[in-house]
Amino acid sequence: MLKTILSQVKEFKRVSILTPVFVLGEVILEMVIPLLMASIIDEGVTAGNIDHIKTTGLWMLLLAVVSLCLGLLSARFGAQASAGLARNLRQAMFEKIQTYSFSNIDKFSTSSLITRLTTDVTNVQNAYMMILRMCSRAPASLLVAMVLSFSINAELASIYLVAVVVLGVLLFLIMSRAMKYFKQVFQKYDDMNASVQENVTGIRVVKAYVREDHENKKFQKASQNIYKTFLSAEKILSWNAPLMNFTVYACILLISWLGANMIVGSSLTTGELMNLLTYCMNILMSLMMLSMVFVMITMSTASAERICEVLKEEPDLVNPEHPVHTIADGSVEFRHVDFAYRKNADKPVLKDINLSVRSGETIGIIGGTGSAKTSLVSLISRLYDVTAGQVLVGGRDVREYDLESLRDQVSVVLQKNVLFSGTILENLRWGDENASLEECKRACRLACADEFIEKMPDGYDTYLEQGGTNVSGGQRQRLCIARALLKKPKVLILDDSTSAVDTATDARIRQAFAREIPDTTKFIIAQRVSSVSGADRILVLDDGVISGFDTHENLLKTNPIYQDVYESQTSGNGDFDEGSDH
């Protein structure tokens, strides 16, 4: 874990090394200043030597200024190193997530990934800052102060040694008990983030069903769980301060009492007593700093483990050693394909799929809810890998292709239409970032999106809210189709992507496809028979098995499932699942 986290320090290694170096310099100078103060008292004030007081005072001032400069530099470099590590961790995690297949993403919830990219990285950043500064400062300060104390008076310094051992044991017991609560709290952060995400994403549904009170209670419960866990940890940690204060004041009292007796007996000077009291504070404050570092490390360990889970997760889908970058044509073939989302699934989602599609054909896909229509087309662009068998595009197994090249040529309009915040033109250019305005307009004409875009005051510069919430469902679908067409793909997959479009517009889109992109192989998933009746062939799926694969006319004669759907829709019901008992 430590190796994985530190591997992201990268260009911030220099400042990471300089930070503790400057901290050590600052500590050494701070430890020298009390010695000079003792010298002023014993050799200046007591002896009445004004010159010694002035000279030593100037040295103290110089050392204080240098120590301040070293402290400022260590703070700056420490902040730079920790912020840089946080930046690199976020970037590495985000880039890693981009390489995940859908099955990889399924292992992490969206809310969990957000927590890892934000809260967990912040905890590691804070811990790294404390390690660079306090983890070098506290041991060095403790060690130097202890050595100097023993060099002044070993008998009195032994009080510190006892205090350090006792306090160290007590702090360890406190930290070990608090650790388990910090490990639990980040899972509860995931639950809270999930509650927020669901609420914001589905805010229209929440308001439509007047469920604000229910959502408030759900969030309150998640927030309360975090509060209780933190409270449990803080109750244990609250013993830190009183124990530390008790030890500090006990040491001061003992040293003052015993030191006063020694001064009376002339075995200790006033300056040396003052030195011992100063080092007492340094030693015990060093222990306090170490306890704070330990708390932060305890919290960040759980966060670091969660970050490493993301960084170490290996993508299921990777490029072959020598990938193919050119796709010959849009032909698609399934050879004895089985597919399951999990390796240990009881039964596959798709079973023994065999079909061959020529380049340029239009294939309609129809089937009931859960018949694996989306799963079938997801294999073409290799969003998932088959469990058994082969999927071929352009005559080659999809696993032989470079993933980017394959997905550039197999364009998918997903069932969930996703638009991003930005202008319509910016969203369209997701298909081709170098596309000209004319190319974008042509794609919109094919998708019948131009008719509503040109009516908008700003046209193609109209700003879309996140998710495209300021346009209708049908308009979102047409924009997503236009975006896919800009890729100029050899295979175009429309996954129920005209469901929110009226039948007349749906027909115009299909006619435009047939006229303008005849060489592109088209897969059209639909619930309406009218959307696929004009296809060259229609694939009927039933519970992951091919029930029929033929033309509209032949299926009406031979396939009972297709017959039921057709009859139910032409009789006015219009819903796939209502009309079929299969």
64-100: pLDDT as tens digits: 999 999 999 999 999 999 999 999 999 999 999 988 8
What is the model's pLDDT at position 87? 95
Which token pair is 346?
Answer: 């009881």
Which token pair is 166?
Answer: 């006792």
Mean pLDDT in the chain?
85
Owner of token pair 């976020």: 90
479-526: pLDDT as tens digits: 988 988 888 889 999 888 777 777 888 888 888 888 888 889 999 998
Amino acid identity for residue 511 in this structure: Q
CATH code assigned to 2-312:
1.20.1560.10
What is the model's pLDDT at position 194? 76
Which token pair is 77?
Answer: 């470099």
14-67: pLDDT as tens digits: 999 999 999 988 888 888 887 788 788 777 777 778 888 888 889 989 999 999
Give the contacts of 112 (CB within 8 A, at least 6 positions apart): 190, 193, 194, 306
Write out 193-254 in H/E/C secondary structure: HHHHHHHHHCHHHHHHCCCHHHHHHHHHHHHHHHHHHHHHHHHHHCCHHHHHHHHHHHHHHH
Global pTM exceeds 0.75: no
What is the model's pLDDT at position 336? 94
Which is nearest to 503 in space by CA: 427, 444, 570, 452? 570
Q: What share of the chain is helix, strand, coil (3-state, %, to 5)?
A: 65, 10, 25
Amino acid identity for residue 527 in this structure: Q
Please name the CATH architecture into which domain 332-579 falls.
3-Layer(aba) Sandwich (3.40)
In the chain, CATH 1.20.1560.10 covers: 2-312
Which helix (H) or strand (E) segment is 540 a member of?
Answer: strand 537-542
What is the model's pLDDT at position 572? 55
What is the model's pLDDT at position 361? 93
Owner of token pair 């997503």: 480
Query: How far, rounded to the nearest angstrom, does the alpha carbon of residue 156 sit from its chain's CA centroid?
Result: 53
Write out 54-68 in H/E/C secondary structure: HHHHHHHHHHHHHHH
In the chain, CATH 3.40.50.300 covers: 332-579
Q: For the chain, which ranges sit under pLDDT 50?
A: 574-582
